[in-house]
Amino acid sequence: MCLVHAQGMVDPIFGATMGTVDEAGDQLANCAIRAGCGSNTKLHFVGDGAKWITEQIEKWFGIQATYLIDLFHLCEYLSDAADICAPEDKRGWLAIQKERMESNYSNEVLKELEPHLEAEKVPNQQARVRACYRYITNRPGQFNYKEALEAALPIGSGEIESAHRYVIQERLAIPGAWWQINNAQNMIALRVLRANDDWEDYWENVRLKAA
């Protein structure tokens, strides 16, 4: 699921699919166009850092777009690392690293992690500091929180996570429900149609075609 809206606008344009990553990219592009995106529009995206998302953004928007890692998602990695780096003051340590990231001092955070990096022989699933370190180093340019905050742009993906609940899960995840893929996709399409205030126009077009 994705959503796009012009800065300062309250109501977003939604898109959703159970298809491929390319279909998800198509949905995102369509949402941006409906929200008023043009060839000179600057776009600001927020997500969890999945590689396929950044690839679709690059494919559709190129240099028009910037991509920011959801701060809460990053903090989950930092929180896991805090158990090792500062077991006696986890909350204080985490607050300092969060403030550093918001001020674009990611190098300081990496320096804080380096003395606690696990040995290579430690399995990845047990190496929480290494996971955090790699998460930051593998995503250069995706932690520019300072600029986003100064421009009053979002640094978290709570809006789309909330929308996923009230647009999709409110209907598809009702108690006792189960879905075949095609039926679920059709229901998602109807839910998005309603969320985008396209419900009446859609059924009017259906009636005209049937006439």
Q: What tens digit of pLDDT does each residue of 108-156 get?
A: 999 999 999 999 999 998 999 999 999 999 999 999 999 999 999 999 9
- Whole-model pTM: value is 0.88
Domain spans in the chain, listed from the N-terminal domain onward? 2-68+156-202, 71-148
Residues of the chain with pLDDT under 50: none
Helices and strands counted in the chain (H then E) = 11, 4
The CA distance from 96 to 105, in Å, is: 11
Q: CA 153 to CA 42: how far, in whole Å?
A: 12
Amino acid (one-letter) located at 113: L
